[in-house]
Structure 1
């Protein structure tokens, strides 16, 4: 049976639409015990403190129709016992899960969940939204040229629409879209979405691949939960189309939206699987990242490991 998700702010997320995408991740600095309900100053650099929410931007209360309200603080549950699942898979990494309606954040390896990393192809989620909002892509079905140059993955050597480009993670097509959007509008939308550290670097067609852009797992679930509920500062139509691009599974009373990422411009390379589950009228946003040290052997653990974590935490029904 299909579950209806009400796309409006839950009590947990009732906040300014132009505020920080990370959901008061300062609570993640509340200690490594089972739960943290009060923030404390996190150690580290200014950028690390921002990634954990301690130095989050001031909400823009003057936007039309937007009322700034204090950020609610989720209960944070640290489940480092689940590191055993990472060890069993032979990888190192972190996992963050946000139960939006329940107001609870569950994390495995709190410090790593706060650490900003290269988003790689998980940025295609935000990039699809930006392309639709700016008109760089008219809709999900407009065919976008890949540029005609040889690509490291043969499947990318085709012109394709946004729907197929997301499905096969076609870097060349998204580089075409990035050139259409241009650096000025890309930066404006990074700021507007408050995406990670919001840094572009010099190349408009590389900044999410090997440039300066970074985002933490905790920030990923904040951004994704807001997309799932129509809470981003973007048009409902663009958000609806972006959600549709990410839908990969619908059965047994749940719907799964997700996107992979593999950033090999850093060492060790970083692998992602991020998205959300809609089940029983609830939204559960998740983000996993791992070190990829052994190529495909490690990369192939991203999806099954995340599914195991989602099953273990009761988000997905038992297989």
Structure 2
């Protein structure tokens, strides 16, 4: 059995939600086609994508989920932070928006937040305030400029990324991350570097609204992880879990997308666990 096939077999045995058959190497990262394709049917399963910057290859766990559009949930906070900074809706990472006491939010959200702390703690209400400041026309315009998934914000200004009309595939997430970390998005370069810094995680963990989650600690010396979680339910009723980001170590840089789609019993940490396992088995962490 080849090394790639053995890796895939171990992965399949270890993931109850995955329907993976092996490891496929794609010679180059294909550009996302426009107009975007609609899903043929609601897919359930998992997808992990790994791209080593400068190598021109994508390591892909083959599953139809990789081409299945679902809600981006809180991974949209990456482009939303760029929009907030680029439009001036928020003056910088330290701008505080006071918590008004309303809403049934996690405890970490029930306080005043800055843009930086709202990104790290995945504070939904903060970004809803940002959306109100940006407005419908500018939100829609940035989605088109970013070529972000189906670029559809019509379901509602403060909810379109939360199980609403905005949808994106794991492949499209990777395409967006590549352009983001290459500094090739149509926003001020300072906005991109600011958001890159805000995405950095504490050593050995990934942080979201529910707190810190172990992430294959300890990391090798000199390793940094920048990441954003996402969790929600899409329009088809599927539970969606995300972790997207970048790992840097020993002069190398890796972009990754982890996505798990299942039913209401899908663990909240499913995409985090999938990413940690996959990065470890690929020698990245």
TM range (shorter): 0.7 to 0.9
Instruction: For residue 37 of structure 1, report the CA deviation from its aligned partner.
Output: 4.5
Q: Do the aligned partners of residues 205 and 277 (structure 1) sit closer, same or farther apart at CA in structure 2, a change above 3 Å counting? A: same
Instruction: For residue 223 of structure 1, report the CA deviation from its aligned partner.
Output: 1.1
| Residue 258 (structure 2) aligned to one of 258, 274, 288 | 288
Q: Normalising by structure 2, what TM-score? A: 0.77
Pairs within 5 Å for 1:71-86:
none
Instruction: For residue 227 of structure 1, report the CA deviation from its aligned partner.
Output: 1.7
Number of equivalent positions? 240
Instruction: For residue 56 of structure 1, report the CA deviation from its aligned partner.
Output: 5.8
Q: Does structure 2 conserve the Cα–Cα contact (< 8 Å) formed by 1:257 and 1:276?
A: yes
What is the SS of the residue equivalent to 2:284? coil
Query: Match of 2:77?
Result: 124
| Residue 232 (structure 2) aligned to one of 247, 260, 263 | 263
Q: Does structure 2 conserve the Cα–Cα contact (< 8 Å) formed by 1:225 and 1:276?
A: no
Say whether residues 1:53 and 2:45 are aligned partners.
no
Query: Match of 2:214?
Result: none
CA distance in 2, matches of 1:96, 1:33: 10
Q: Does structure 2 conserve the Cα–Cα contact (< 8 Å) formed by 1:248 and 1:256?
A: yes
CA distance in 2, matches of 1:38, 1:245: 29
Gaps of 5+ in 2: 1-21, 37-43, 204-218
Q: Do the aligned partners of residues 180 and 143 (structure 1) sit closer, same or farther apart at CA in structure 2, a change above 3 Å counting? A: same
Q: String of CA shifts for 1:107-134, please: whole Å, max 9, x gaps.
A: 1124221211100000001101100001
Query: Match of 1:157?
Result: 110
Query: Match of 1:179?
Result: 132
Gaps of 5+ in 1: 1-31, 40-50, 58-90
Q: String of CA shifts for 1:24-55, please: whole Å, max 9, x gaps.
A: xxxxxxxx98445599xxxxxxxxxxx98344
What is the SS of the residue equivalent to 2:226? strand
What is the SS of the residue equivalent to 1:299? coil
CA distance in 2, matches of 1:149, 1:178: 17
CA distance in 1, matches of 2:28, 2:233: 36
Query: Match of 1:113?
Result: 66
Q: Does structure 2 conserve the Cα–Cα contact (< 8 Å) formed by 1:197 and 1:215?
A: yes
